[in-house]
A and B are shown apart, each in its own frame.
Chain A
Amino acid sequence: MARVLINVPRSAKRGDIITIRTLIQHTMETGYRPNAQGEVVPRDIIRRFTCSYDGAVIFSAELSPAIAANPFLSFTTVATRSGTVTMTWEGDNGFAQTETRPIEVT
């Protein structure tokens, strides 16, 4: 399991716009870099990120090798009701990780 840093506010007022920030530990190997033997290192990146909240996908992104190592993503959403924010990363070599964070909406 890769280490993740996720910043979702624990509580928010209904209708507030909240910022979600995520960072996951991953080399994001571009597939263009030679190793010490001069051979090109095969690509190994996270290709897709999805975030769902309150029963629907609120944000998703397709990443390319141009995204820096340890991909950081920040976006916003409207606090609708208490529940769980679910984040999924999928990538090369079967990489898949899901994290959830609770949010309390008053």
Chain B
Amino acid sequence: MIVPTRRLLLAAPALLLLPRQADATPEAMAEAVRGFTGGAPVTPGRVALDISPLVENGNTVPLSVIVESPMTEEDHVRAIAVFNERNPQPHVITAQLGPRAGRALLSTHIRLATSQTLLAVAALSDGSFWSDRAQVVVTLAACIEG
């Protein structure tokens, strides 16, 4: 993080005049989910999206997704994707895995611009899609300062 300089302070009124960037919306998220599923129905269940419900710093938020699956050649998770509603872009991460993973598990650290709902979708080898939602309250947002 950069300590505010005099130049930054002078630039502050100009920043206020900048057009506000278009944020992702629930509709944009639904569109991104359709891009991932190809329009197939998504059923809630089998997926566990693990994230702290109250986040103090949106710049780095630990997140894990675990999918209930035997992870065999016949029945495994092909991909896991995470989406958000109110960051500038609805997509967070897409991971491809297979039976060799042993467990359908993904952990990473993400950024959150504001309090919002996150959605994790898992694509299974039989062509079905499962999901889980999580509500997150963010105290200090990412992306807003220089």
User: Residues of A at under 8 Å CB distance from B?
Assistant: 17, 21, 30, 32-38, 56-78, 80
Say whether A61 contacts B18, CB under 8 Å: no
Say whether A75 contacts B110, CB under 8 Å: no
- What mask results when residues 1 to 42 of chain B are scored 1 for a CB within 8 Å of chain A, else 0? 010010110010011001001000000000000000000000
Number of interface residues of B (CB under 8 A): 41
Say whether A36 contacts B11, CB under 8 Å: yes
Q: A66-B87, A76-B101 are in contact. Are A60 and B96 (CB under 8 A)?
A: yes
Within 8 A of A (CB), among B60-97: 60-61, 64, 84, 87-89, 91-97
Q: A59-B96, A72-B108 are in contact. Are A35 and B101 (CB under 8 A)?
A: no
Say whether B60 contacts A32, CB under 8 Å: no
Say whether A64 contacts B101, CB under 8 Å: no
Say whether B21 contacts A38, CB under 8 Å: no
Beyond the given A33-B143, A56-B100, please list 18 additional residue pairs across the A-B interface where CB-CB is below 8 A.
A17-B103, A36-B11, A38-B14, A38-B18, A57-B96, A58-B97, A58-B98, A58-B101, A61-B93, A61-B96, A62-B93, A65-B88, A66-B84, A66-B92, A71-B108, A72-B109, A75-B106, A76-B103
Say whether B100 contacts A71, CB under 8 Å: no
Task: Report the Cα distance A38→B8, complex, angstroms.
Answer: 8
Task: Report the Cα distance A8→B28, complex, angstroms.
Answer: 37
B5 contact set on A, CB distance < 8 A: 36
Say whether A30 contacts B143, CB under 8 Å: yes
Task: Report the Cα distance A26→B69, complex, angstroms.
Answer: 33
Task: Report the Cα distance A17→B2, complex, angstroms.
Answer: 42
B125 contact set on A, CB distance < 8 A: none
Residue of B nearest to A57 (CB): B96
Shortest Cβ distance from residue A48 to the other chain B in the assembled complex, whole angstroms: 10
Q: Is B133 positioned at the interface, with any CB of A under 8 Å from its CB? A: no
Q: A67-B109, A74-B106, A74-B107 are in contact. Are A36 and B97 (CB under 8 A)?
A: no
Shortest Cβ distance from residue B56 to the other chain A in the assembled complex, whole angstroms: 14
Name A66's contact: one of B101, B106, B111 (CB within 8 Å).
B111
In the assembled complex, 29 residue pairs joining A and B whose CB atoms fall closer than 8 Å, in A order, are A21-B107, A30-B111, A32-B88, A34-B15, A34-B146, A36-B5, A37-B7, A38-B18, A61-B93, A61-B94, A61-B106, A64-B92, A64-B93, A65-B88, A66-B84, A66-B110, A66-B112, A67-B93, A67-B109, A68-B111, A74-B64, A74-B107, A74-B108, A76-B102, A77-B100, A77-B101, A77-B102, A78-B101, A78-B102
